[in-house]
Chains A and B, each alone.
Chain A
Amino acid sequence: MFQNKIDYLLFLADSNLILSQRNAEWCGHGPVLEQDIAITNITLDLLGQARNFYQYAATLINQSTNQPTKLVSEDSLAYLRTEREFKNLLLCELPKGDWAQSVLKIFFFGVYAQLLYRELMKNEDEQIAAIAEKSLKETNYHVRWSGEWVIRMGDGTEESNQRLKNALQYLWPFTGEMFVAAAFEINNGINLSAIKEQWLQHVTTVFEEATISMPDINAAMQSGGKQGIHTEHMGFILAEMQYLQRTYPNSEW
């Protein structure tokens, strides 16, 4: 039961961290200055949320192991775990692609996170509830910003519409994983099928505005992230993110 809570915290932390690391690739490369700033602001929020989840996970891990010589920290959890130990959604690790692919990914994950945090705010664990309450306020901005971009691109020019459709075709099979409970999510009080229903509703509303037809909701879906089985992209992102700590162990700012 205790291990489930730690694994669930790591799942939330990893998903936020990896999406944050991915989005950070836009820093200095956004299509216009204001949007570069917007996506990096969102990235910073995701990083902050990841830190809160890691810090709490580290506290619980240290309590449970009782090995004061081998204390874990938010940094060791982020920088010193291997690919198989990361539990993030596959969606979060996919390449940044073009602008359409990045905003659609933020939109899919944001709507999911928003619904999840609304539920987690009522969690009996006070710290989880507090992190969710804090994260929700920020996520509301992410959902609105990315939703507006989905509409703008879908209902924009022929090219923006085509790019959004390409992004949708690529990302869609990675959305199903959000709603399939891993072992650590069973009996944690979150009703994933209710969240799936609301998620589909929100996505449908925005797609209608964007003049994009809803993909097949029963299509075959990818899975594995929550179990630590990742796409070929994961190793590269970890290599880049963890390089410094692996090469120069314990280096600090």
Chain B
Amino acid sequence: MQQQTIHIKQEEKKIWNILENVTDPEVPVLTILDLGIVRNVAINNNDVEICITPTYSGCPAMDMIAANIRMELMAAGYENIFIKNILSPAWTTDWMSEAGKQKLKAYGIAPPSDKPQVCNSGLFAPNEAIQCPQCNSYHTHRISEFGSTACKALYQCDNCKEPFDYFKCH
């Protein structure tokens, strides 16, 4: 019995490692593990169940992510793959890994702040101090709270003048 449990744990770990190969189609430097959208991996006999959660309700990448998970697992020899979409608890940028944040910055997207200051619903919320991913200046301003994808806001650096995406806190 105990041995079986250990075996399952090892198998699950193997699957987590395989999932490292699946990236976000919109932000290809991030793996789905960096994003924190894989919530659970479970093995039951020959069935593999993967629970994923969307970043935003309308995220158009979810179907493709599910398909890519399936492809990776099939390539590794798994057959009975069940991908479950769960909504609660709702995804938050707090689940993004430190490695993910570093990768985002290197890619030119400002990562979500550690301590979000404006995740509130107040009107004309003050601009969050977001660091420019190019020149590291905090002298930046928000152009729009909505950006090229649902998860990003548009900023511009007042120092190097470069516009950039900010992966907004959520």
Q: Is B121 an interface residue (CB 8 A)?
A: yes
Instruction: Mark the stretch among B9-17, B106-114, B144-152 that contacts chain A.
Output: B144-152
Residues of chain A lying within 8 A (CB to CB) of residue B160 = none
- Whether B124 lies near A148 (C-beta < 8 A) is yes
- Whether A48 lies near B143 (C-beta < 8 A) is no
Chain A residue with Cβ nearest B57: A48
Contact pick for B57, options A51, A127, A209, CB 8 Å: A51
Q: Is A88 an interface residue (CB 8 A)?
A: no
Chain B residue with Cβ nearest A141: B145
Residues of chain B lying within 8 A (CB to CB) of residue A51 = 57-58
- What interface size band does chain A fall in? 35 or more
Cα-based distance from A49 to B146 in the complex (angstroms): 17
Min CB distance B109 to A, Å, is: 16
Cα-based distance from A114 to B122 in the complex (angstroms): 13
Give the number of residue pairs across the A-B interface with Cβ within 8 Å.
81
- What interface size band does chain B fall in? 20 to 34
Q: Is B1 an interface residue (CB 8 A)?
A: no
Residues of chain B lying within 8 A (CB to CB) of residue A147 = 123
Min CB distance A121 to B, Å, is: 9
Question: Beta-carbon contacts of B119-160 to A below 8 Å, as 1s and 0s?
Answer: 011111100000000000000000111111010001000000
Q: Which residues of A are interface residues toward B (Cβ below 8 A)?
A: 34-35, 37-38, 41-42, 44-49, 51-52, 114, 126-127, 129-131, 133-135, 137-138, 140-141, 143-145, 147-148, 151, 206, 209
What are 7 inter-chain pairs, A to B, with CB distance below 8 A?
A: A34-B154, A38-B144, A51-B58, A130-B86, A144-B121, A144-B123, A151-B123
